[in-house]
């Protein structure tokens, strides 16, 4: 395949030695909110393909419940500067403040864009988009809570996903659904590696497809399945982040993982923060509203990292509820059936279905659940992927949870994720369009699918004795036990040894299904490889940051240390990942935090 090959019509391909070759101007990997928002900008202006291992409307954006922040001031006085401040303070001042300003300023247009696309937001009696309170969002720089979250009942992510997909269909975007991207092909151009194609595995046939393009946008979501108790779907295995990592490109701030306070106890299924926005209260076994002790100003609507730690502390100090004293309660009973059934119907049904608890009449058992990765693929404010602290990889972009702008710092405020995918997804699409106007196709190597073919066939033909599910189960349980809300050097060292041992076992895996069509056994084997890679980076970065900040809480270093750690972690893969000491193959560096107007100060709520 050469760069002067005839450009195929949408959906057409050239088959060479059983591999299908496609050419597009822009290829978007991931069909969640970030990917489809980018596609809406890219599709009308460049030949665009969206590749997704799921049907688009099954992407995890659809699981987001509570809302999307924007200082519309429809129900209370508000402005984008207050939103910027809340984002910076909520992120424990590790937020790049120029990115936060972009997020807050462009939030208003982002919501109006969705409204114009047809998204059915809840409305005020006057017909304006309604807004509710959410954790960490305040008026007048922290003086009191503010109603900033635009919402569609407790199905906001679902509505956004459906709306974006319908608009993509209207625009005639080319989708390749149930195609699993497994590699980013890099070609040396004057000694500098540049992206030339992605290689995808067609789940329905087992065939390989090479998508050559001038620009690539990664919007592949998070990797919460490194943990056992998580709100993340089974498919959130960090494939896009893992591919970037294996290419030798850096990952940023991987130690910061958010644990959402209100997951159904023992299950991790999410109950939106919107419930507390509507007035639900967290209580311990004594019925005490314990958040009054920790955050007297905004109580249950403190940022998620603070609330999660307080909940765990209540349990550790003996005030947990239930037979094993291992959870607290979310009390919605005073809200009444009408509010619960109309504004919070999904979480009401979740509690009834999965725990047999009716929130109308009884409190719901909850505990923190692994929810969101603040770290990921480092990008500029224009969604360009970085090779180091300052050097952009030409033609490579990332947006959404897989990316790290860094607009969330060490702790993301609720409702800023749906905002992030729309603001930076749009920016990724627009900037990719501008890039491809003058860019050429980067030449492909002789056999761009060779690496993926070898990996797939190696797993399929293996006669090992290890089972994927057993390795994954141990990884997730150990990450829950030793790298979750509270961490120490001792627990992180223990889970590091576990990951190395599991890597050795992973060499001896086999799959029972040797077929090619919809081989989920094979799919999970590949996903486990990414989970092991990313869990190791999370833990290694966490051991290196000897302080507590945002979603990273070290019992052995309980205070924030701005003198030594007011900077982003940058991790690079530099050696054989199978060595026992991750220090032999992971190199860590630092990247300065961008501070524009808000100097770091103590977080008080």
Reading the block at residue 28, the tokens are 């978007």
Q: Could you say which of 148, 276, 283, 304 is catalytic?
A: 304
| Distance separating alpha carbons of residues 278 and 579, to the nearest angstrom | 50
Asked if residue 502 belongs to a known ligand binding site, the reply is no
Asked if residue 58 belongs to a known ligand binding site, the reply is yes
Residue 343, φ and ψ in degrees, nearest 5: -95, -20
DSSP helix, strand, coil percent of the chain (3-state; round to 5): 35, 25, 40
Q: Where are the alpha helices (DSSP H) in 261-374?
A: 274-277, 291-294, 304-316, 337-343, 345-350
Asked if residue 55 belongs to a known ligand binding site, the reply is yes
| Distance separating alpha carbons of residues 59 and 80, to the nearest angstrom | 29
Asked if residue 60 belongs to a known ligand binding site, the reply is yes
Asked if residue 412 belongs to a known ligand binding site, the reply is yes
Asked if residue 231 belongs to a known ligand binding site, the reply is no
Asked if residue 549 belongs to a known ligand binding site, the reply is no
Between vectors from CA 386 to CA 382 and to CA 389, what angle results, nearest 5°? 110
Asked if residue 53 belongs to a known ligand binding site, the reply is yes
Asked if residue 13 belongs to a known ligand binding site, the reply is no
| Distance separating alpha carbons of residues 476 and 278, to the nearest angstrom | 33
SS3 call for 140: coil
Asked if residue 263 belongs to a known ligand binding site, the reply is no
Q: Are 319 and 286 in contact (CB under 8 A)?
A: yes
Print the SS3 string covering 516-582: CCCCHHHHHHHHHHHHHHHHHHHHHHHHHCCCCECCEEECCECCCCHHHHCEEEEEEECCCCCCCCH
Reading the block at residue 471, the tokens are 């390795």
Asked if residue 67 belongs to a known ligand binding site, the reply is yes
Determine whether 283 is an active site residue.
Answer: no
Reading the block at residue 559, the tokens are 């205070």
Asked if residue 34 belongs to a known ligand binding site, the reply is yes
Asked if residue 64 belongs to a known ligand binding site, the reply is yes
As a whole number of Å, the end-to-end CA separation of the chain is 59
Asked if residue 62 belongs to a known ligand binding site, the reply is yes
| Distance separating alpha carbons of residues 161 and 442, to the nearest angstrom | 32
Asked if residue 35 belongs to a known ligand binding site, the reply is yes
User: Between the CA atoms of 473, 478, 483 and 486, what dihedral angle is there, to the nearest 10 degrees?
Assistant: 120
Asked if residue 31 belongs to a known ligand binding site, the reply is yes
CA dihedral for 217, 221, 225, 227, sign (positive or negative): positive
**What is the DSSP pairing of strand 48-52 with strand 19-29?**
parallel
Asked if residue 57 belongs to a known ligand binding site, the reply is yes
User: Between the CA atoms of 235, 241, 242 and 243, what dihedral angle is there, to the nearest 10 degrees?
Assistant: 110
Asked if residue 162 belongs to a known ligand binding site, the reply is no
Reading the block at residue 206, the tokens are 């087992």
Print the SS3 string covering 174-205: EEEECEEEEEEEEEEECCEEEEEEEEEEECCC
CA distance readout (Å), 543 to 177, 254, 488, 555: 39, 11, 8, 12
Cα 588 to the center of its chain, rounded Å: 22
| Distance separating alpha carbons of residues 335 and 393, to the nearest angstrom | 51
Q: Are 376 and 400 in contact (CB under 8 A)?
A: no
Nearest Cα to Cα of residue 542 among 407, 404, 368, 374: 374
Asked if residue 33 belongs to a known ligand binding site, the reply is yes
Asked if residue 238 belongs to a known ligand binding site, the reply is no
Q: At CB < 8 A and 24+ separation, what contacts does 12-19 make?
A: 13/209, 17/447, 18/207, 18/208, 19/207, 19/208, 19/209, 19/210, 19/449
Paired with 591 in beta bridges are 568
By annotation, the residues acting in catalysis are: 304
What residue numbers does the annotated binding site cover?
Answer: 30-35, 52-67, 239, 260, 272, 371, 401, 412, 417-418
What residue numbers does the annotated binding site for substrate cover?
Answer: 260, 272, 371, 412
What residue numbers does the annotated binding site for FAD cover?
Answer: 30-35, 52-67, 239, 401, 417-418
């Amino acid at each position: 395949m050469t760069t002067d090959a005839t450009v195929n019509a949408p959906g057409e391909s050239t088959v060479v030695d059983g591999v299908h070759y496609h050419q597009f101007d822009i290829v978007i990997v991931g069909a969640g909110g970030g990917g489809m928002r980018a596609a809406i900008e890219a599709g009308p202006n460049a030949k665009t393909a969206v590749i997704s291992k799921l049907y688009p409307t099954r992407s995890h954006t659809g699981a987001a419940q509570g809302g999307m922040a924007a200082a519309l001031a429809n129900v209370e006085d508000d402005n984008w500067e207050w939103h910027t401040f809340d984002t910076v303070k909520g992120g424990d001042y590790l937020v790049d403040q120029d990115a936060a300003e972009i997020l807050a300023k462009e939030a208003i247009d982002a919501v109006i864009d969705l409204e114009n696309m047809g998204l059915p937001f809840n409305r005020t009696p006057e017909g304006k988009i309604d807004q509710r309170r959410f954790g960490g969002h305040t008026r007048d720089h922290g003086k009191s809570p503010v109603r900033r979250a635009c919402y569609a009942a407790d199905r906001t992510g679902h509505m956004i996903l459906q709306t974006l997909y319908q608009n993509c269909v209207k625009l005639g975007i080319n989708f390749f659904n149930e195609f699993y991207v497994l590699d980013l092909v890099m070609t040396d151009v004057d000694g500098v590696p540049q992206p030339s194609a992605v290689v995808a595995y067609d789940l329905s046939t087992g065939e390989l497809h090479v998508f050559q393009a001038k620009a690539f946008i990664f919007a592949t979501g998070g990797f919460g399945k490194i943990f056992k108790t998580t709100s993340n779907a089974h498919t959130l295995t960090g494939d896009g982040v893992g591919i970037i990592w294996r290419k030798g490109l850096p990952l940023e701030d991987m130690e910061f993982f958010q644990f959402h306070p209100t997951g159904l106890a023992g299950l991790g299924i999410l109950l939106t923060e919107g419930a507390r926005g509507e007035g639900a209260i967290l209580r311990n076994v004594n019925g005490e509203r314990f958040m009054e002790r920790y955050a007297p100003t905004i109580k249950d609507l403190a940022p998620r990292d603070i609330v999660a730690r307080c909940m765990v502390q209540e349990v550790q100090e003996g005030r947990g509820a239930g037979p094993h004293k291992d959870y607290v309660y979310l009390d919605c009973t005073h809200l009444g059936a009408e509010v619960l059934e109309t504004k919070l119907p999904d979480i009401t049904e979740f509690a009834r279905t999965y725990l047999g608890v009716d929130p109308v009449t009884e409190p719901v058992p909850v505990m923190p659940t692994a929810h969101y990765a603040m770290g990921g693929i480092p990008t500029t404010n224009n969604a360009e992927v970085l090779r180091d602290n300052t050097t952009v990889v030409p033609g490579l972009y990332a947006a959404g949870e897989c990316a790290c702008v860094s607009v969330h710092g060490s702790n993301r405020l609720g409702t800023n994720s749906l905002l992030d995918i729309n603001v930076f997804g749009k920016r990724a699409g627009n900037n990719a369009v501008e890039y491809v106007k003058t860019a050429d196709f980067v030449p492909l190597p002789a056999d761009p699918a060779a690496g993926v073919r070898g990996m797939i066939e190696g797993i399929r033909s293996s006669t090992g004795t290890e089972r994927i599910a057993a390795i994954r189960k141990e990884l997730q349980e150990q990450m829950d036990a030793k790298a979750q809300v509270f961490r120490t050097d001792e627990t992180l060292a223990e889970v590091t040894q576990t990951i190395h041992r599991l890597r050795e076992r992973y060499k001896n895996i086999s799959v029972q299904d040797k077929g090619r069509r919809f081989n989920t056994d094979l799919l999970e084997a590949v996903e486990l490889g990414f989970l092991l890679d990313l869990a190791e980076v999370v833990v290694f970065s966490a051991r290196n940051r000897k302080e507590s900040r945002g979603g990273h809480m070290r019992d052995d270093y309980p205070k924030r240390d701005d003198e030594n750690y007011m900077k982003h972690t940058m991790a690079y893969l530099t050696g054989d990942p199978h060595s026992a000491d991750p220090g032999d193959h992971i190199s860590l560096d630092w990247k300065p935090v961008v501070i524009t107007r808000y100097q770091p100060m103590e977080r008080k709520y």
